[in-house]
Amino acid sequence: MVKASSSRLSSVLSGCADTIVAQATANGSGALAIIRFSGPEIQAVAERLCPRLSVARPREAQLVALLGRDGREIDRGVCTPYAAPRSFTGEDMLEAVVHGSPWVVEEVIATSVSLGARRAVPGEFTQRAVANGKMDLVQAEGVNELVRAETRWQARLAREQMHGSLSGRISPLREKITGLRARIEASLDFVDQGVVLSDEELRGALGECIGAVRGLLASFVVGERVREGARVVIVGPPNSGKSTLFNALLARERAIVAPCPGTTRDVLEAGLDMGGVPVVLVDTAGVRSTEDIVEAEGVRRAEAAAAGADLVVLLRSADSPRETVELWGVEKDRILEVISKSDLLEVAPTGEDVMTASCVAEGGLAELREAIERIVLAPLQAHDGNVAINRRHKEALSRAQEHLERSLLAPREVAAEDVREAGEALEELLGLIDTEAVLDAVFASFCLGK
Amino acid sequence: MAGARMGASVAVVTLHLETIGQMPCNPSIGGIGKGHLVAEIDALGGVQGWAADRTGIHFRLLNASRGPAVWGPRAQCDKDRYATIMRRLLLGTRGIDLIEGEATDLVVGGKAVCGVVLADGRRLKAGAVVLTTGTFLGAVLHTGEDRRAGGRFGERPSIGMGRSWVGAGLELRRFKTGTPPRIHRDSVDFARLEEQVGDERPRGFSWRTTGVRNYTPCWVARTPPQVQAIIEENLERSPLFAGQIEGVGPRYCPSIEDKIVRFPHHKEHTVFVEPETRAGNSIYLNGLSTSLPEDVQVAVVRAVPGLERAQFLRYGYAVEYDVVAPRQVGFDLAAEAVPGLYLAGQLLGTSGYEEAAGLGLMAGINAAASVLGKEGARVDRTEGYIGVLIDDVVTRDHREPYRMFTSRAENRLMLGVDSARERLMVAGVRLGLVPERVFHVEQCRWEARRQAITQLEATQLNPNRETVEMVLGMTGVEVRSPTTWAGILRRQDIDIRRVGDTLSGLAHLAPEDREVVIGRLKYRGYIERQEREQSRLVRLRGVKIPAGFGFRSISGLSREIMEEMERTRPRTLSEAAQLAGMTPAALALVAGRLATRGQGGKP
Ligand SMILES: Cc1cc2nc3c(=O)[nH]c(=O)nc-3n(C[C@H](O)[C@H](O)[C@H](O)COP(=O)(O)OP(=O)(O)OC[C@H]3O[C@@H](n4cnc5c(N)ncnc54)[C@H](O)[C@@H]3O)c2cc1C
Ligand SMILES: Nc1nc2c(ncn2[C@@H]2O[C@H](COP(=O)(O)OP(=O)(O)OP(=O)(O)O)[C@@H](O)[C@H]2O)c(=O)[nH]1
Ligand SMILES: [Mg+2]
């Protein structure tokens, strides 16, 4: 397959206005494979590749034979033509569903290339959709995220973003800012004609815009949690049952468990899906002071892991509840204290509001799992849930916010410039202005055929 | 005039000698954006600002409460004296011949223009011809149903010229403008109008001027709601709405009938009542531009409180005229299709005396330079409003009369009237239009302002008791943390007049310069950021587009933009960016495509 060159956008644009083709389904054999075409020469390609297909009947699935360069049948497949502009890319398109043999797919693509099509580079279909105004850049990102979604929340947010949930909040904001700028300009250029915009009114309007930007920025924690997931680090004294809990949560024997303290020396990580959010679970060495240099290094790493955690599950064993670990530099609200091996407890701990759990007997483990899940999903609950900005969005919105806040204090003619720049930050966000770098970054992570 | 002073021998041909310097509309020079142009024309050695200073009767600085970037100096002039002075200036300039007559055709030798033919058969030979037909080309005047050929009230149009240009390959377009009625001073009840006095400390435009003064106030009236009814009743008699006028008028300077139709929810419209001369009787009704029939004009004006007894001296009218469609001249204002031919003024689709003067000056300079074998002049759009104006005329497609606004200038903050001389006077000196001695005096002044800024930035203020009290006493501001005087003066709530007289570093400057210094301090942070940004943009904008570049091969471009680019063939991304209808997204596609070809060279 074609490899993206060093400047990705460049290669995306290298053959624009031509017809592109790519396999839209994963490589390798499968029951079926989908091959996508987009561009002005669809008809010419189809005339030779699948002569029985009627492109004059767009959006109709037609079972036809696909012919190779020698005119012999490659396969029979279901082909659906789309007519510009009513297609994903906004151009004429064709989607062919064939049997998922790598040979069949390669023959179909090679044949269409011989007929004038070009192998698409990753993201090129979506890029054309953006270029043709079928969607904005934020929606395009949604498409890509949906394709890559691995958890329920990722899929949900990606889908909403693709359908315009986020764009639907950014676009009106951008229009509002543009409108405000026009009013500022008019108040400067037309004072002699009695156009006024009072300072209070301007401040009020700016305040509204800033509020809206802040609201969007606040959803970053949601996006971050959903996209990046959470790091949950199990910490505790040696032998407190950390590795046992680690394995129990993963439901597989990933870490070595042994009755002697100091079993785990290194940091172990494993991914799992908790409530639709990707979680990286981390097992660490038991924390204690030790002469053993290997173990001491393990302790250091355990403490470092705790510092970088979204949540620390801090264990102490029921048989030695006083033996615990002081975590410096980890805020209280990032720590979940748990008394492990609760089956060894003779009496329930009194006066302490601490969770208890056992990994060998009934009791507490399910609750512990739920408690972790609740904390991991907390940021999602705090928001309406259908928008969640990513890092690129955050960067642009922060820039907009900075400019808007500055404009509150600036002389009006300077404020005009800041408001303009705030608007430009949002335009860049939506992909309405340039910049090669932005597009490059966004499309760099696309799958082929999207 | 600039051409003659550069050493060329110049013939000025006009239809009527006595109408040179005639201001057919409001006899006022300057305003916001326009005042910027006048200041720049003056810095380059043009005479418009000087003439306005000498004949001004009412001076006002618009946006005075804002920073220097958007100050808009404006002068109401004595219409008769302005024309007289302009005529005298022309007569007194060595190297100018004034000729009355109608130019009907161009003399073309080979491919280049080498003169003009007059209606009476005379032929004038010239190395370069500058055309400035204003509102005269194919002009038609409208007042109500009445429609006659004419370039301005009482003046005939110019007919022959247009035909010869169409032959020469210039595309024409039809624009429209209008003017309000004039009424007799004695018929106005001034007591019922709101008086608007000129500035307490009036300032002139020109480095040639030592002082100006106000001779008269102006007045403000408001149209009552019944004006709406009067106009609506008579709309079918309006040439504008009856379809008689096809020319496109300026949106920002609409006629009263336009305003009524477009903003029906505005119950009131402002009318500035302005004397046309210092001592004469004619009063101009700024805001009541109209081409309605005479009887309707009378009804409308007399409905305005204070103008009930108005006696008409002249009725308002609209004029439709031919202009050369934009983008047919180069940056030197030479017509691309016809070598040796320069275009300027309202003919290029602009509107207003200041825009016309700016273009006229630059066309004159460049035409003379081409004949004399000298280097002409060009102002970049980042250097001044003249640059913005010319750049827009050369690269953008405007479909209505073009007027200058400050918002057209991308780096407005650096292009205030206060810095016009700093930016452009050196070019005026080079061309021989500004005496060097004037330049040296000015230089000292700029230097003093710059030093003041440095000093204020450098003076530390620490919050000890002594300093706190001193600053509090001088400004009313309490110093809480270490800062500089510049830091204090940047605040929005400082009363400049209070500090200006006492603060060392400011006190020795003229009051106007103090305001400039403080204004620039306030812009400083922003400008520094902008400069950083600029270096990034310059890189992108300078990217060259190779000659044979195929715009059609870029997918995702709209047809209009593609055709536009094929037609105009921009040479750089920055030129492409300025095309009519160009969107940032489209520009990104072009940029991307260029990168592919590996031809995106750095400037
Ligand atoms: C009715 C009216 C209303 C206006 N209203 C507004 C307004 O609302 N706002 C605004 O900003 N501006 C307005 N103006 C515009 C302003 O007057 C012009 O922009 C400015 O005067 C244009 O200057 P110019 O030098 O290009 O042309 P003009 O001042 O029109 O001068 C043209 C000159 O060319 C001469 N000429 C023309 N053809 C020939 C020929 N064939 N041979 C020889 N000589 C020729 C004429 O005699 C005249 O001297 C208005 C003008 C008019 C007439
Ligand atoms: N009764 C009981 N025993 C447990 C429980 N969890 C762990 N154990 C036992 O405790 C011992 C230590 O368990 P690990 O999971 O290895 O403990 P650890 O905290 O990882 O120990 P180090 O890695 O050495 O720090 C093992 O023998 C486990 O079987 C529990 O819930 N109940
Ligand atoms: Mg362990």
In a domain, A376, yes or no: yes
CATH of B182-320, one of 1.10.760.10, 2.40.30.260, 3.60.15.10, 3.60.110.10: 2.40.30.260
pLDDT category at B214 given cuts 50, 70, 90 is very high
- Predicted confidence at residue A3, as pLDDT, reads 27
Q: Which residues pair with B178 in a beta bridge?
A: B318
> Is A15 in a helix, a strand, or coil?
coil
The C-alpha of B91 sits at a distance from chain A's nearest C-alpha, in angstroms, of 35
- The reply to whether ligand 2 has any atom less than 6 angstroms from the CB of A262 is yes
* CA–centroid distance, residue A264 to ligand 2 (Å): 11
CATH of the domain at A261: 3.40.50.300
pLDDT category at A9 given cuts 50, 70, 90 is very low
Asked whether the beta carbons of B362 and B380 are under 8 A apart, the reply is no
Asked whether the beta carbons of A108 and A74 are under 8 A apart, the reply is yes
Q: What is the mean pLDDT of chain B?
A: 88
DSSP code per residue over A187-201: HHH-GGGT----HHH
Which residues in chain B touch residue A431, judged by CB atoms under 8 angstroms apart? 585
Domain spanning B544-598: CATH superfamily = GidA associated domain, C-terminal subdomain (1.10.150.570)
The H helix count followed by the E strand count for chain A is 15, 12
Is A17 at the interface with chain B, CB within 8 A? yes
Best mutation site among B1, B20, B25 for ligand 1, i.e. most ligand atoms within 8 A of its Cβ? B25
Same domain, A33 and A122: yes
DSSP code per residue over B88-148: HHHHTSTTEEEEES-EEEEEEETTEEEEEEETTS-EEE-S-EEE--TT-BT-EEEETTEEE
Is there a contact between B596 and A13 if contact means CB atoms under 8 Å apart? Answer: yes
Same domain, A189 and A208: yes
Q: Per the omega criterion (within 30 degrees of 0), is the bond before A85 cis? A: yes
DSSP code per residue over A99-115: E--HHHHHHHHHHHHHT
The C-alpha of B407 sits at a distance from chain A's nearest C-alpha, in angstroms, of 6
Cα–Cα distance measured from residue B509 to residue B51, given in angstroms and rounded to the nearest whole number: 27
- The residue segments making up the domain with residue A175 are 141-219+388-431
pLDDT digits (tens, 9 = 90+) for B253-294: 788 998 888 888 888 888 999 999 998 999 999 999 999 999
| ipTM metric | 0.82
Asked whether the beta carbons of A336 and A312 are under 8 A apart, the reply is yes
Span of A82-86, A153-157, B157-161 with lowest mean pLDDT: B157-161
Is there a contact between A433 and B587 if contact means CB atoms under 8 Å apart? Answer: yes
Span of A121-135, A340-354, B67-81, B329-343 with lowest mean pLDDT: A340-354
In a domain, A185, yes or no: yes
Same domain, A108 and A174: no
How much is the average pLDDT of A71-75? 94
How much is the average pLDDT of A419-437? 77
| CATH class label, B2-131+158-171+332-424 | alpha beta
pLDDT category at B221 given cuts 50, 70, 90 is very high
pLDDT digits (tens, 9 = 90+) for B534-590: 665 556 666 778 877 777 766 556 666 777 788 888 888 778 877 766 665 567 667
Same domain, A241 and A368: yes
Q: What share of chain B is helix, strand, coil (3-state, %, to 5)?
A: 40, 20, 40
How much is the average pLDDT of B108-137? 91
Residue A325 CA: which ligand is closest? 2
Same domain, A241 and A341: yes
Residue A261 CA: which ligand is closest? 2
Same domain, A16 and A126: yes
pLDDT of B334 higher than 60: yes
- Best probe of the B interface among A399, A405, A434, A443, by most B CBs < 10 A, is A434
Q: How many domains does chain A have?
A: 3
| DSSP state at residue B402 | B
Amino acid letter at A129?
A
Select the residue of A192, A410, A433 nearest B585 (Cβ to Cβ). A433
Same domain, A25 and A96: yes
- Predicted confidence at residue A388, as pLDDT, reads 82
CATH of the domain at A55: 3.30.1360.120
Residues counted in chain A: 450
Best mutation site among B251, B319, B351 for ligand 1, i.e. most ligand atoms within 8 A of its Cβ? B351
pLDDT category at B492 given cuts 50, 70, 90 is confident
**Kind plus residue range of the DSSP H or E element containing B82:** helix B79-91
Amino acid letter at B101?
G
* CA–centroid distance, residue A237 to ligand 3 (Å): 10
How much is the average pLDDT of A321-350? 84
- The reply to whether ligand 2 has any atom less than 6 angstroms from the CB of A359 is yes
Show the CA angle centred on residue A141, arms to residues A136 and A146, nearest 5°: 125
- Predicted confidence at residue B537, as pLDDT, reads 54
pLDDT of A10 higher than 50: no
Which residues, 6 or more positions from A350, have their beta carbon under 8 angstroms from its beta carbon?
A: none
Which residues in chain B touch residue A434, judged by CB atoms under 8 angstroms apart? 540, 584-585, 587-588, 591
Cα–Cα distance measured from residue A275 to residue A151, given in angstroms and rounded to the nearest whole number: 8
- Residue B198 CB neighbours (<10 A): 22
pLDDT > 70 fraction of chain B, expressed in percent and rounded:
93
Asked whether the beta carbons of B186 and B334 are under 8 A apart, the reply is no
Select the residue of B406, B522, B552 nearest A188 (Cβ to Cβ). B406
Same domain, A340 and A264: yes
- Predicted confidence at residue A289, as pLDDT, reads 87
- The reply to whether ligand 2 has any atom less than 6 angstroms from the CB of A240 is yes
Is there a contact between B70 and A188 if contact means CB atoms under 8 Å apart? Answer: yes
> Is A87 in a helix, a strand, or coil?
coil
Same domain, A112 and A156: no
Among B113, B339, B301, B324, which residue's Cα sits nearest to residue B223? B301
Question: CA-CA distances (angstroms) from residue B305 to B37, B191, B194, B300, B315?
Answer: 36, 10, 11, 11, 19
Where does B449-556 show beta strands of DSSP type E? 460-461, 483-484
- Predicted confidence at residue A443, as pLDDT, reads 59
Interface of B with A (CB under 8 A): 31-33, 62-63, 66-67, 69-70, 72, 74, 252, 270, 405-407, 412-413, 492, 519, 522-523, 526, 530, 540, 552-556, 583-585, 587-589, 591-593, 595-596
pLDDT of A188 higher than 70: yes
- Predicted confidence at residue B555, as pLDDT, reads 59
Among B454, B448, B513, which residue's Cα sits nearest to residue B485? B454
- The reply to whether ligand 2 has any atom less than 6 angstroms from the CB of A256 is no
**What are the residue ranges spanned by the domains of chain B?**
2-131+158-171+332-424, 182-320, 435-538, 544-598
In a domain, A224, yes or no: no
Among A237, A207, A17, which residue's Cα sits nearest to residue A117? A17
Same domain, A45 and A187: no
Residues counted in chain B: 603
> Is A266 in a helix, a strand, or coil?
coil
pLDDT of B467 higher than 90: no
pLDDT > 90 fraction of chain B, expressed in percent and rounded:
55
pLDDT > 70 fraction of chain A, expressed in percent and rounded:
90
Select the residue of A12, A412, A431 nearest B66 (Cβ to Cβ). A412
How much is the average pLDDT of B317-338? 91
Reported as half-sphere exposure (CB side, CA atoms, 13 A), residue B139 has a value of 23
CATH code at B435-538: 1.10.10.1800
Best mutation site among A240, A242, A244 for ligand 2, i.e. most ligand atoms within 8 A of its Cβ? A244
pLDDT digits (tens, 9 = 90+) for B502-529: 787 788 888 888 889 988 998 988 888 7
Same domain, A237 and A366: yes
Span of A24-33, B430-439, B504-513 with lowest mean pLDDT: B504-513
The H helix count followed by the E strand count for chain B is 19, 22
Find the DSSP H helices in A190-328. 199-218, 220-228, 242-250, 293-307
In a domain, A49, yes or no: yes
* CA–centroid distance, residue B171 to ligand 1 (Å): 20
Asked whether the beta carbons of A375 and A336 are under 8 A apart, the reply is yes
pLDDT of A34 higher than 90: yes
Is there a contact between A188 and B66 if contact means CB atoms under 8 Å apart? Answer: yes
Which residues in chain B touch residue A132, judged by CB atoms under 8 angstroms apart? 556
Same domain, A75 and A13: yes
pLDDT digits (tens, 9 = 90+) for B172-198: 899 999 999 999 999 999 999 999 999
pLDDT of A12 higher than 50: no
- Predicted confidence at residue B372, as pLDDT, reads 95
